[in-house]
Structure 1
Amino acid sequence: MSAEVPTPQPEKPPARSRVVRSNRRQVLLFAALTVILTVATVWGGRIWLRNSETLIFAVGDGNGVEARFAARLAAVLNNTNSRLRLKIVPSGDSTKALAEFDRRQADLAVLRTDTKVPPRARALAILEHDVLLLISPGSKKIKSLADLKKRKIAVLADGDNSAAFVRNLLEISDSSDAASRVQMAPPDSTLDKLFASGGYGAVIAIAHASTIVKDKRFEQYAKRGGFTLNAIDESKALARRNPGISEETLATGVLSSSPALPDDDLDTIGLQWLLVTQSRMSSTTAGDLARTIYENKAELALEDGFASRIEPADTDKDAFVVAHPGAAEYINDETKSFMDRYSDLLYLGAAALSVIGSIFAGIYTKVTRIAPEKASELATAILDIGERMEHATSQDALDALQDELEAILRGAVIGLRDGTISSDGLDTFKLGYEFVRDEIAMRRESLKRRAGHDDNVVIVKTAQSA
C-alpha cells in the first residue's frame, strides 16, 4: 500500500509583507479618490459658476425685427448650450419697450440712435445701419438742406418716429404746418405714386443698409429714370451736431448695377440699431452674451437682411452709447491666453486638491493605514529571549535563541527600510539587543566551562534575574 505524499501547503507571505502591500494599496486608492473628487469638485464649481441665468428682452411689435432678432438670439443661446436664456416680452411698440427697459423691467432692448437713450443703457453690439436716401423727382437735384426745407417731404420708413427725426434734422419748428410739410408716406407707397401725385418735392427713404442691397425696386426705378438720388454734402456737420447720426457712404452701384445707382460714391447720413443692456449687468454675463453674438453672426441674420452685418459696439469713452465693460473687454481682447481663460478653474482645482488631499492624508494616517510597529515594542520579544535563556542547557538551545535574536534584528532592519517599523524607541531596541546578545555569549561560555569543570561552574545572571 503506497503512502500518500502530503500536498505541501503554500507558504503564507510574512505579516510584514502583507502590511506593506495593504498600505500601498491604500495609498493608491486614496490618490485615485483624491484626483476623482478634485475633478468632480472643479466640474461642480464650474457648473455652479455657470449657473443658468434668464434675461428679459423687451421688444416692440411681436412680428417686428426686434422680436424676430430676439427669437434668433434665444435659439442660438440654446443651441450653443449657453448658461444664458432669454425671455422675450412684446410691448406693442419700440417706445414702450424702451420705457420698460428704462424702468429696469428688462435686461435687453434694441434701440435706434434717433430715440431717447435710457441713461443706464450700455451697448453690446451694432446690429444694423439705417441709411437716409434723399430722392427728388425726375432730374431735379436738391442742392442743400436749405433747398430741401422749401419742399414738401414724404418719409418712407417703418415707424412714425422717422418723420419726427426728419423734422429735427432739418430743424423745422413744431409749427402748425410742420406736420403737413413733413409727412409719413401712406402704407404701400411707391416712388412712382408719390411723385405722380405732384404734391411732394422730395422723398426721404430711411431703410436698413442690408435691406436696400436686396431691394430690386430701385433698379426698376433707375431704368425708368424717374428720380434723382441726391448726396447730403452736410453729412459731416450733421454728424458732429447730432451724436446719434453717423456718416454713411453709398458705394457706386449699390442700389442698382445697371444702370449704376448711384453712379459714384455718395455721401449721406445714417442711424444705428444697437443692442443695449443694463449697466448693472455683470461683466461676465455681458461678455458671454457678446461672445455668443459675435461668434454666431450668420445664425442671427434675419431673412430680410437685418443684423446680417453685426459690428462690435463702439468702445470709445465718448461714444454715443457707451459699450458695456464686459462687451468692451471681449471686443478689445478676443484672444485670451489659456491662463486668462481658465485661471479661475485652475485656482479652484489647486484649492480643492489641497483640501481633499489633506483630508485623505489624515484619514490614511489616523484611520485606515496599518500603523508601523514601534522599534521599542520589539524590545519585549528580545527580553523574552533573555528570559528563556535560563532554561537553555545546551549549545543547540543557545544556537536556536541566537537565531531567533538575529531574526528579530533582521526583521527590524527590513521593517525600518520599508516603513512597517518606525524608529520610535530605536535606542531601547538597540540596548535590549546588545544586552541579550552579550548574555547569550556569556551563557555559551558558562556551558563550556561547566562541561569541563562541573564542580566549579558559576551560573551567570539571566535576563530575568537582571
Structure 2
Amino acid sequence: MPVPPSPRSAKRRLTFITLAGVLAIVGALVAGYYFAMRPVTLRIAVGPANSDDLKVVQNLAQAFNNQRNSLVRLRPVQTDGALASASLLGDGKVDLAIIRGDLEVPRNAQAVATLRKNVVVLWVASAAKKEKGKKAAPGITKIGQLTGRRIGVVGRTQANVNLLKVILRQYGVDPAKVEIIQFPANEAAEAIRNQKADAYLAAGPVNSKITADAIAASAREGGAPKFLAIDSAEAIAQNHPAYEASEIPAGTFGSAPSRPEEEVKTISFAHHIVARRGIAESTVAVFTRQLFAVRQNLKNEFPLAAKIETPDTDKDATIPVHPGAAAFVDGEEKTFLDRYSDYIWWALMALSAMGSAGAWFAGYLKKDDRSVNTSQRDRLLDMLTAARQCDSMDELDQMQAEADAILRDTLQCFEHGAIEEGTLTAFNIAIEQFHNAVADRKALLLSMPQNLQRASAQFRAAGNA
C-alpha cells in the first residue's frame, strides 16, 4: 500500500498566518497612532478687519504653525465682528469663535479662554465751545444728566449702543430721549474736535489705544475731560450677568495731568474664545495648553496676548466651560493612555480573540496531519501482521522501506505539533515491534531451505485463493 502524501507543512502555514496577523496589528497600531497624533486644524471666526482680536488670532495661528510637534493649528475665518462670529459658530461652520460676553451666546458655545476684558469709559469734555447766539449748556457731572443730550459712541458695533442703553436705563434716562451718534474708531478724534456730541462712550481694554486717543483729543479741544462714574455697576452686574463691576485706575489714560485723577467705578465685559460643543475634549485640552504656552512667548512682542486668561470653571458661569478647557485649568488633562485606554483595551481583547482563533485554526490545519498519521499507524500495524507471515525477502524489504517513510512523516508531524508525545511513544512501540517482526521473519527465512520456502509460499497462496 503506497504511503499517503503528507499535507503541506502546518508549521509553514501557521507561521504565514501568524506573520500576517502581526503585520495587520502593527499596521493598525501605526495607523491609529498617526491619526491620533496628526495635527488638527481648527477654524476660528474673528473680526472685524484690522481689529486687535484679529491680530491676536493671526499671531497665535502663526505661533502654532511654527511650533514643532504642534497637535492643533488655527485657521482664522475673518468676519464683520463678534456677532457674525457667534452666528458662524452657532451654525456649526467654524470650530472656535471670538465673541462678546454681553451679546447672545450660541447654545452650542462653551468657553475655552477669556481673550481680554473690556471696561466702559464715559466722559465729557470739560469746556465745550459756546456756539454763537446760543447759551452754553450746563456742565454734565453725572449720568442722570444725559437726558436730551448727544452721546457719541466710539465704534460701529450695535453692541456698544445696547451697552449704553443698559447704563442709561439703570439711571432712569430714557434712551429715546438721548441722541446717539456712532462713528468709527478712526474718526473719533475728528468727531470730538468738531464737538459732535456732549458726552462720549468707549469700550475696550484698560490700555486701549483707541480709547486713549479719543480722551487725548477731548483734552486738546476742551481741557481735562470729566469722567462719569458708573456707581451702580454692581446693580447692573446683578441684573445683567454678562457685566461685572470694575474700576478704571487713576492715571490710566495719561499722567500729566492724571486722567482720571482718581479711580472711577465702571462696568466691564469680556471677549471670549469659545468652542463648538461636540469638539473632542482632548482636542480642546491640547488647544488650551498650546494657547497658554504660546501666550508666554508672545506677550513681549505682542502685549495683547498677555490679556488672555483662563475661563470661569464655576458651574454657574455665564458661558459654560468646555470640558477640555476645564481639564487643563484643573490639572486633569488626560494623557495619551487615558485618552486611548478604551481603544487599547479593545485592541488587547481583539488580540486575545485573534490568538484563540489562531490556535483553533492551527489545530484545524493539523487535522489533516493527524488523520494521515492515524492511517499510517494503522498501515504499520497491518504490515506488522503481514511481516510475520511473509515468505519473500523482497516484500519484507519493501515493507521496511515503507515503515521508514512512515517513521519520517511521523517525526515531522511531532515536530510540527500535529501529534502529542504520548502518540509518538505509542508509535515508537509499534515501529519497534514491526522491525523485530521483520528481523525475526528474515532470520527464519534464511534458515529454511529454498525449496521449503517455495512450498510454503505456494501453500499460503493456495490458502488465500
TM-score range, shorter chain: 0.5 to 0.7
Is 1:116 aligned to 2:104, yes or no?
yes
| CA–CA distance in structure 2, aligned partners of residues 28 and 211 of structure 1 | 72
Contact 1:130–1:207, Cα closer than 8 Å, also in 2: yes
Partner of 2:178: 178
Distance 1:267 1:27, change over 3 A: farther
Contact 1:294–1:310, Cα closer than 8 Å, also in 2: no
- Which of 270, 286, 291 matches 2:286? 291
Contact 2:206–2:252, Cα closer than 8 Å, also in 1: no
Query: Taking structure 2 as the reference length, what is the TM-score of the superposition?
Result: 0.64
Offset of 1:161 from its aligned partner? 3.2
Offset of 1:273 from its aligned partner? 0.7
Partner of 1:418: 415
Offset of 1:283 from its aligned partner? 4.1
Contact 2:125–2:218, Cα closer than 8 Å, also in 1: no
Distance 1:325 1:337, change over 3 A: closer
Partner of 2:115: 127
| CA–CA distance in structure 2, aligned partners of residues 365 and 354 of structure 1 | 17
Contact 2:82–2:100, Cα closer than 8 Å, also in 1: no
The letter of the residue matching 1:318 is: D
Contact 2:45–2:88, Cα closer than 8 Å, also in 1: yes
Offset of 1:247 from its aligned partner? 3.3
Partner of 1:162: 160
Distance 1:357 1:258, change over 3 A: farther
The letter of the residue matching 1:349 is: A
RMSD value over aligned CA atoms?
5.8
**Residues 290-369 of structure 1 correspond to what in structure 2 (within 5 A)?**
291-297=286-292, 298=294, 305-354=303-352
Is 1:39 aligned to 2:39, yes or no?
no
Partner of 2:142: 147
User: For 1:272, what is the secondary structure of its paired residue?
Assistant: strand
| CA–CA distance in structure 1, aligned partners of residues 440 and 392 of structure 2 | 12
Offset of 1:350 from its aligned partner? 2.5
Query: Can you give the 5+ residue segments of structure 1 that lack an aligned partner in the other structure?
Result: 1-15, 140-144
Query: Can you give the 5+ residue segments of structure 2 that lack an aligned partner in the other structure?
Result: 1-5, 128-139
Contact 1:239–1:245, Cα closer than 8 Å, also in 2: yes
Contact 2:120–2:204, Cα closer than 8 Å, also in 1: yes
Contact 2:64–2:290, Cα closer than 8 Å, also in 1: no
**Residues 415-454 of structure 1 correspond to what in structure 2 (within 5 A)?**
418-419=415-416, 422-423=419-420, 429=427, 432-433=430-431, 436=434, 439=437, 443=441
| CA–CA distance in structure 1, aligned partners of residues 391 and 211 of structure 2 | 116
> Bigger shift: 287-296 or 353-362?
353-362
Identity within the alignment, %: 21
| CA–CA distance in structure 1, aligned partners of residues 74 and 302 of structure 2 | 25
Q: Deviations over 1:229-262 (max 9, x none)?
A: 6765543333222211123355676655788767
Query: Taking structure 1 as the reference length, what is the TM-score of the superposition?
Result: 0.64
Offset of 1:295 from its aligned partner? 1.0
Contact 1:111–1:276, Cα closer than 8 Å, also in 2: yes
Partner of 2:130: none
| CA–CA distance in structure 1, aligned partners of residues 252 and 16 of structure 2 | 71
Offset of 1:291 from its aligned partner? 2.9
| CA–CA distance in structure 1, aligned partners of residues 341 and 215 of structure 2 | 55
Distance 1:191 1:437, change over 3 A: closer
| CA–CA distance in structure 2, aligned partners of residues 246 and 147 of structure 1 | 20
Is 1:246 aligned to 2:233, yes or no?
no
Distance 1:130 1:433, change over 3 A: same
User: For 1:115, what is the secondary structure of its paired residue?
Assistant: coil
| CA–CA distance in structure 2, aligned partners of residues 190 and 332 of structure 1 | 43
Offset of 1:38 from its aligned partner? 0.9
**Residues 63-74 of structure 1 correspond to what in structure 2 (within 5 A)?**
63-65=50-52, 67-68=54-55, 71=58
The letter of the residue matching 1:61 is: P
Offset of 1:368 from its aligned partner? 10
Partner of 1:377: 376
Q: Deviations over 1:43-64 (max 9, x none)?
A: 4456678999887655553444
Partner of 1:7: none
- Which of 249, 274, 278 matches 1:276? 274
Partner of 2:235: 237
Partner of 2:202: 205
The letter of the residue matching 2:168 is: L
Contact 2:45–2:89, Cα closer than 8 Å, also in 1: yes
Distance 1:88 1:292, change over 3 A: same
Q: Deviations over 1:369-395 (max 9, x none)?
A: 9946625514535654664563478xx
**Residues 4-15 of structure 1 correspond to what in structure 2 (within 5 A)?**
none
Contact 2:218–2:225, Cα closer than 8 Å, also in 1: yes
| CA–CA distance in structure 2, aligned partners of residues 78 and 95 of structure 1 | 27
> Bigger shift: 316-325 or 436-445?
436-445
The letter of the residue matching 1:282 is: G
User: For 1:319, what is the secondary structure of its paired residue?
Assistant: coil
The letter of the residue matching 2:278 is: S
| CA–CA distance in structure 1, aligned partners of residues 373 and 209 of structure 2 | 91
Contact 1:154–1:204, Cα closer than 8 Å, also in 2: yes
User: For 1:150, what is the secondary structure of its paired residue?
Assistant: helix
The letter of the residue matching 2:309 is: E
Contact 1:57–1:107, Cα closer than 8 Å, also in 2: yes
Contact 2:125–2:219, Cα closer than 8 Å, also in 1: no
The letter of the residue matching 2:312 is: D
Contact 2:288–2:328, Cα closer than 8 Å, also in 1: no
Contact 2:156–2:184, Cα closer than 8 Å, also in 1: no
Distance 1:215 1:374, change over 3 A: farther
Distance 1:113 1:375, change over 3 A: same
Q: Deviations over 1:259-316 (max 9, x none)?
A: 87678776542111123344xx4141x6524532441353797987545432233232
Contact 2:165–2:175, Cα closer than 8 Å, also in 1: no
Partner of 2:133: none
Partner of 1:9: none
Contact 2:111–2:272, Cα closer than 8 Å, also in 1: yes
Contact 1:208–1:306, Cα closer than 8 Å, also in 2: no
